[in-house]
Structure 1
Amino acid sequence: MTNGCPEYHYVAYIDESGDDGLKAVKPVSNPGASEWLILSAVVIRAENQREVPNWVNSIKSEFRNHQRPDIHFSGLNPAKRQRACEIMANLDARYFIVASNKKNMQGYRNPAADKIPSKNWFYCWMTRLLLERVTKFVYDKSISQYREPKKLRIEYSARGGLSYPQMSAYYEWMRLKKHNPYLPWGHISWDVMHFDLMKIYPHHDREGLQLADVVASAFFKACDKHDTGQCDPTFAKILSPRMARDPDTRSGQCSGFGVKLMPSLEKAKLDPDQAEIFNFYGYPKQWWCPKASND
């Protein structure tokens, strides 16, 4: 225990690009919310926490005339974006993204939303999909290295309307719920999670969240064509060496695990330029949790 919190051996930094608006969604409606919501996770071993500020400083040191104290992918020119991703492609970390193409969800309301103790049900559901993959990765690594599950600290980037009580209440609700008739869940490895290890911080306060911003925004730029100009998959492709695979080997499967698209590639009806990044990472083939359940 450290300061009343359980000991942990891994850390996940979670950020997003796009928004979770569903009332009006581009390109179905214009104006409207972003067509995409992309959540990312940067996962490291806890012993590397002290190195994260050095990693971010090494990226900033490559930039001329960088006035900001932090890194925001959207504020970087293409050359700086490329250099940031090149450096991140060599860090001792694993990256995950879940990408939701929202145009088929315009006006949708989750029929179970009133039963979920959180106002941000869509964001929470997206983090659920992300953590199915992150916790499996951490669980497998724990068993391999320590022969028992080890805890994961989760740090979220503060965003509009997100609160720790809402987020923790949602996960507690999902953990205790034995059956959900609306959505076929995968499997969260609850053995590696603890609610006292879930934290929310401003983006500029945590260098790890700035790394997660780069990952989320690189993939947003790869498939968005309504808010950031034409699609450019260059940056997301550069991150390939560190995108998570199952198993965690060079030949492991990335599509559906480290890179997860919702809905399926066929149902998303993406334009060819939007689909390029998902094809690059192995779609239409995709991984699915071998322990699928309704927990």
Structure 2
Amino acid sequence: MTHTYVAYIDESGDDGLGKYREPGGRGGASPWLVISACIFRATHQLDAVTWRDEISSRMPEKKSRTLHFKDLSHGQKVVAAQVIGNKPLRTVSILAAKRPIPDGIYTQKNQLYFYLTRYLIERISWLCRDMRPRAPEGDGRVKITFSRRGGMSYEDFRAYLTRLQGASSDDVRIHWPVIDISAVDAQDHSKLASLQIADAVASSFAAAVEPDIYGNCETRYSELLRGVTYNHKGKFLSYGLKSVPTLDRCLLSAEQQKIFDMFG
């Protein structure tokens, strides 16, 4: 049988630790890493191209339909979030503050990325489980596609998920019946409209916590996505929006706190 759901994953920021970039400065690692998923029923896969093109059509000055959220102006970003926020999809985002991470914990390549993505996969699995009564088609599973990132082995990530599946720890709360590990793959951002939408989601939430060159954060984009952010009985935090570490340890400024208050 075919998959019931599809999930597209992209990130904003990097997984470098130490020597963090300061507002107005050049170089350095991003203080935050945001990893987001855009999830919808597999029957909407072709519709995702139309959604992307709807955004592009609102920007006649753009020469390409391909969306790179970071290259858009503030007004264009608002339009992109407005369009996405009215589509039949759901989003999940993991917002990781890297400054509080102690030295010497994530020393292996992609270790932090794998760890954070585990939380994302958990929430994707809960969403697919919860929505199954409304989506009877297919086999109930989700096909997961990453935006390809340099230096990342997706074979290693599939092996990582397999190890988690075999673990007996109560700390792993993935609902495995809906996760098709063998179907996890990666595609280039430019080739799939769905990945471009996932990029817009990740970048929207990153803008709310990652200061720009002037030291300011922007919550407008993520606010427009509230209606499509996964929630459980009206609760967004720990479902469609999760901080790592816990909020009390994220060293949030008053401006960064706004996004969590908005979804709290």
TM above 0.5, yes or no, is yes
SS in structure 1 of the partner of residue 96 of structure 2: strand
Amino acid at match of 1:137: L
1:268 to 250, 257, 260: 250
Question: How much does 1:144 deviate?
Answer: 5.4
C-alpha distance after superposition, 1:204-246 (max 9, x if no partner)? 1111110011110011111111557510111111111111101
2:223 corresponds to: 237
Judge conservation of contact 2:53–2:65 (CA < 8 Å) in 1. no
Amino acid at match of 2:159: A
1:56 to 52, 57, 61: 52
User: Identity across aligned pairs (percent)?
Assistant: 30
1:200 to 186, 190, 195: 186
1:100 aligns with 2:96: yes
Equivalent positions of 1:1-295 (< 5 A) are: 1=1, 7-26=2-21, 32-105=28-101, 107-110=103-106, 119-143=109-133, 145-146=135-136, 150-179=140-169, 185-225=171-211, 229-247=215-233, 252-282=234-264
Question: How much does 1:147 deviate?
Answer: 11
Amino acid at match of 2:146: Y
Question: How much does 1:106 deviate?
Answer: 5.4
> What TM-score, normalized to structure 1?
0.83
Amino acid at match of 2:30: S
Amino acid at match of 1:108: G
Tell me the matched-pair count: 262
Distance 1:147 1:259 in 2: 27
Judge conservation of contact 1:133–1:257 (CA < 8 Å) in 2. yes
Amino acid at match of 1:270: L
> What TM-score, normalized to structure 2?
0.92
Judge conservation of contact 2:145–2:185 (CA < 8 Å) in 1. yes
Judge conservation of contact 1:98–1:262 (CA < 8 Å) in 2. yes
SS in structure 1 of the partner of residue 46 of structure 2: helix
Amino acid at match of 1:163: S
Q: Which ranges of 4 or more aligned residues in structure 1 deviate by more than 6 Å? A: none
SS in structure 1 of the partner of residue 45 of structure 2: helix
Judge conservation of contact 1:13–1:212 (CA < 8 Å) in 2. yes
Judge conservation of contact 1:158–1:202 (CA < 8 Å) in 2. yes
Question: How much does 1:104 deviate?
Answer: 1.1
Residues 31 and 72 (structure 1), Cα distance of their counterparts in 2 relative to 1, 3 Å cut:
closer
C-alpha distance after superposition, 1:38-64 (max 9, x if no partner)? 000100001011111011001100002
Judge conservation of contact 1:26–1:226 (CA < 8 Å) in 2. no
SS in structure 2 of the partner of residue 55 of structure 1: helix
Judge conservation of contact 1:12–1:44 (CA < 8 Å) in 2. yes
Judge conservation of contact 1:24–1:106 (CA < 8 Å) in 2. no
Gaps of 5+ in 1: 2-6, 283-295
Question: How much does 1:25 deviate?
Answer: 3.2
Judge conservation of contact 2:3–2:139 (CA < 8 Å) in 1. no
Residues 227 and 107 (structure 1), Cα distance of their counterparts in 2 relative to 1, 3 Å cut:
farther
CA root-mean-square deviation: 2.2
Question: How much does 1:109 deviate?
Answer: 2.0
Distance 1:260 1:37 in 2: 12
Distance 1:48 1:229 in 2: 39
Kindly indicate whether structure 1 or structure 2 has the higher relative contact order, using CA contacts under 8 Å at least 6 residues apart: 2
